[in-house]
Structure 1
Amino acid sequence: MKTRFTGFEPVRRDRLVQEARHDTYKAKHKLPEPTVCPRCGAVFHDGRWQWLVKPAQAHEAMCPACHRIHDVFPAGYVTVRGPFFKDHREELLHLAKNEETRAKAEHPLKRIMQIEDQDDGVLITTTDIHLARGIGEAMHHAYQGELEYHYNEQENLLRVVWER
């Protein structure tokens, strides 16, 4: 005996379509090559942003990092606080800036947006979640202390708290 289906099929959880992560600052389409950012001079070449000499006849488009900086919309927040910070402020900020310099040399989209003093420490905002994580890990590696991560997948946002 054959069974007839009336348009209903059982739900298979292993075949559900995963929603793509929505990132406003990612290009919706492939940029023409070469494209240069008019603000920072980064060049989009071979499918990624790089530090190259500006090619002749290049298209212009703002890179995602400059776009975030313009909109004041960070992807990463690093909070540094505690009594250790008050005594070693300059060392810790120097470490954060060195981490940015190291990361930005190879990845132009990894930048510190702002360093803002707070009552009990400092808040460093970044254009990239990986840079925020790298700054937190560098501080933890150099000075130990407590390191916490809070990742919001829906907003592609990372909050890092380092305290000692």
Structure 2
Amino acid sequence: MRRERGPYRYRRMQMLEGASDDAYRPGVKPRGAVHCTGCGAVFRKGRWIWAAAPAGAEKRRCPACLRIAEGSPAGYISMTGAFFSAHRDEVLGRVRHCEQREKTTHPLERIMAIDAAKGGVLVTTTSVHLARRIAHALESSFKGALSLSYNHQDNLLRVRWSRAAD
């Protein structure tokens, strides 16, 4: 028996639909160079980079600085468990290292805050990509239980990482 297949979308249509999900990243790229007044990043040749601001560059805030100013993170990483309590500095060092590595080539990928939460720590990020990268780095380095929950409508990723004592 042949099974009925539902409607499907072409891959390129899926890519187009997801292109403007983030309200902080406008669909239209600026024509000239833009210098962020918050962090100093420069938008040039279609992407944000760390560079000196060119003469005559338009001054405006980058999407990451807008997120930070409005307190609207794209990623939440919750870290809990007895292992986390015992190795807190080591785990947070791994989190910061992931951010530093990512931020060197992608200025919009940043940690917004590291706050104490009930039974652990909550890290907020400016992008879902950094949150996912940190989540997989924690799982790779320290093992434990990892769950990722992505909300497509709000372009939001919630990560829960936990590990019991050895």
Q: TM-score, normalised by structure 2?
A: 0.86
1:20 alignment partner, SS class: helix
Cα offset, 1:104, TM superposition? 0.4
Cα offset, 1:13, TM superposition? 4.1
Distance in 1 between residues matched to 2:76 and 2:8, nearest whole Å: 35
Tell which deviates more after alignment, 13-22 or 141-150.
13-22
Cα offset, 1:28, TM superposition? 3.9
CA-based RMSD: 1.8
1:25 alignment partner, SS class: coil
Distance in 1 between residues matched to 2:151 and 2:29, nearest whole Å: 27
Distance in 2 between residues matched to 1:136 and 1:107, nearest whole Å: 18
1:1-164 map, 5 Å = 13=7, 20-21=17-18, 22-164=21-163
Task: Give the equivalent residue in structure 2 for 1:9.
Answer: none
Contact 1:32 1:59 in 2 (8 A): no
Gaps of 5+ in 2: 1-5
Cα offset, 1:90, TM superposition? 0.7
Tell which deviates more after alignment, 113-122 or 14-23.
14-23
Task: Give the equivalent residue in structure 1 for 2:3.
Answer: none
Distance in 2 between residues matched to 1:30 and 1:119, nearest whole Å: 41
Letter in 1 for 2:91: L
Cα offset, 1:93, TM superposition? 0.7
How many residues matched? 153
Cα offset, 1:15, TM superposition? 7.1
1:60 alignment partner, SS class: strand
Which of the pair has more CA radius of gyration? 1
2:113 alignment partner, SS class: strand
Percent pairwise identity: 45
Letter in 1 for 2:115: E
Cα offset, 1:57, TM superposition? 1.2
Cα offset, 1:107, TM superposition? 0.3
Letter in 1 for 2:86: D
Distance in 2 between residues matched to 1:23 and 1:137, nearest whole Å: 22
